[in-house]
Amino acid sequence: MTGAIDNHDRAAPIFTPDAFRLTDQQAALIARARTFGARVLAPRAAEHDREASFPLENFRDMHAQGLLAICIPREEGGLGADFQTYCLAAAELGRYCGATALSWNMHVCSTLWSGLLADDLPMEASERNAHMQRRRKHYRRIIDDGAIYAQPFSEGGAAAAGTVAFGTEARPVDGGFVVNGKKIFASLSGAADYYGILCTERAQGEVANRRNTLYLAVAANAPGVSVVGDWDPLGMRGTVSRTLLFKDVFVPEQEMLMPHGVYFQAATRWPHMFLTLSPTYMGLAQAAYDFTVAYLRGEAPGTPRVLRRMYPTKQIAVAEMHIQLEQTKALWFQAITEACADPTKEQVLRAYAAQHTVMENANAIAVKALRTCGGQAMLKSLPLERIYRDSRCGSLMLPWTAEICVDRIGREALYEPGEKDE
């Protein structure tokens, strides 16, 4: 093991279990993620970033660690993490490889939404029973075979922001659906075994309606599925988020990840489901801060042992970063702890504020880290410049981009539902 890895291994948890009142079980699972991130993800991150290649071997290793099944309920053979525990574990992975943590989130959501979220929403007994049967099949694929699920919903129009129905459509036919459409920015494209798409169920002659959004797992090798376009972005390069095309793809009914109408209910009643992109960026914020402290102490792996911590300007910069990090952690921790069905207005506004804060502050802290550490710290042989580029991507991610969060907080703080200015 190299010195760099030893150093990572000694990293303190982002959220100390005692201070944040975590149970021993939570602490153990989060520690497992942190150790895995330090030992397995960190040494591979630079290459996947440079090559813009998907870290498939990380997912194989996550399968061996049980991490692909982190949110699969215990009674189904998974680790049974709740929303808060998942977010805290994901933040630990984000410290070491943003692209892996973000891609892992897409995979985990297929189990979180079909599991914990669906359990929280009302369904007829027969419908729940059918859902339990269907989801078991997905869970077995993940647990037994290490199947990887992606979560492509973006289309380049207004649907991903939640304002109109998805343009990708599923036409009901005997035994399932025929899917046609296009998804952009599909992380894990070409690597996932299943694409958990959001699409509009629409029979011949029916008008497209958001209430009929269907959450379907499309096998990557199904006839009519193709991956097109290139992927050479600023950051999060290892996510390999290319374009997916679906041309008359038959998807059996058994591949529904949620029953008819339940996704729409979830999106309106369980809004914290859209907070799951933030843990990766919480981890990146911590990583930028950690790097800065280690660098100024002359302890950053791969750098000469030069002390820079005695300069008052460096101390002030670190103090400002620390304050910003603690503010981010406090708000985010509160928001992920409040996730539930039918949250109060105050909780929803706090979730938007937390998402905005994490996404913007992760990049702000990384910017300050670069300025404070200086020119040698931006070399590609060190992780900071990757953290800086990766951290820029968070605010752009729908449905809760930084702009949309501001938009909603402003409107929902000033208007009660249904209120108008006459």
Note the residues at the interface with ligand FAD (CB under 6 A): 106, 151-154, 156, 158, 160-161, 163, 185-187, 236, 239, 241, 393, 396-398, 401, 403-404, 407
Give the integer Cα–Cα distance in Å for 263 and 111: 13
Query: Which C-beta is closer to ligand FAD: that of 90 or that of 300?
Result: 90
How far apart CA 220 and CA 149 sit, in angstroms, is 9
If the CB atoms of residues 106 and 339 are measured against ligand FAD, the closer one turns out to be 106
Q: How far is the CB of 30 from ligand FAD (least distance, A)?
A: 24
Nearest distance in Å: CB 50, ligand FAD? 16
C-alpha–C-alpha distance, residues 183 and 165, integer Å = 14
The owner of tokens 């900071």 is 384
Instruction: Give the residues across from 219 on adjacent strands.
Output: 194
Of 78 and 394, which has the nearer Cβ to ligand FAD? 394
CB of 397 to ligand FAD, least distance (A): 4
The conformation of residue 275, written as its DSSP 8-state character, comes to G
Q: How far is the CB of 329 from ligand FAD (least distance, A)?
A: 23
DSSP code, position 76: G
Sequence-separated (6 or more) residues with CB below 8 Å from residue 274: 267, 355, 399, 400
Check whether the bond before 304 is cis (ω within 30° of 0): no
Nearer to ligand FAD, 160 or 335 (CB): 160
170 SS3 class: strand
Query: Of 104, 108, 123, which is closest to residue 72 (Cα–Cα)?
Result: 108
Smallest gap from residue 309 Cβ to ligand FAD (A): 34
Asked if residue 189 lies in contact with residue 242, where contact means CB atoms within 8 angstroms, the answer is: yes
Tell me the two tokens of residue 81: 């993490």
Two structure tokens written together for 74: 């215990």
Closest C-alpha among 135, 225, 212 to residue 179: 225
Residue nearer to ligand FAD on the CB measure, 154 or 276: 154
Question: 341 or 349: whose CB is closer to ligand FAD?
Answer: 349
Tell me the C-alpha distance between 277 and 352, whole Å: 12
Structure tokens at 379: 């070399």
Least Å from the CB of residue 263 to ligand FAD: 14
SS3 for 62?
helix
Shorter beta-carbon distance to ligand FAD: residue 122 or 156: 156
Nearer to ligand FAD, 158 or 319 (CB): 158
- Nearer of residues 199 and 404 to ligand FAD, judged by Cβ: 404
**What's the closest the beta carbon of residue 163 comes to ligand FAD, in angstroms?**
5
Q: Tell me how far, at minimum, the Cβ of 132 lies from ligand FAD, in Å.
A: 26
CA distance 179 to 400: 26
Left (φ > 0), alpha (ψ -120 to 50) or beta: where does 310 sit?
A: alpha
Q: Which residue has the tokens 């919903």?
A: 153
Torsion-angle region of 77 (φ positive above 0: left; ψ -120 to 50: alpha; else: beta)? left
Q: Which is nearer to ligand FAD, 83 or 281 (CB)?
A: 281
Q: How far is the CB of 295 from ligand FAD (least distance, A)?
A: 26
* Least distance to ligand FAD, CB of residue 105, Å: 9
* Contact call for residues 372 and 317 (beta carbons, < 8 A): yes
Which residues, other chains included, contact 371 with Cβ-Cβ below 8 Å and sequence gap of 6+?
Answer: 317
By beta-carbon proximity to ligand FAD, the closer residue of 123 and 150 is 150
Shortest distance (Å) from residue 35 CB to ligand FAD: 26
Preceding peptide of 13 cis, ω within 30°: no
Q: Are 328 and 405 in contact (CB under 8 A)?
A: no
Work out whether strand 169-173 and strand 194-201 pair parallel, antiparallel, or are unpaired: parallel
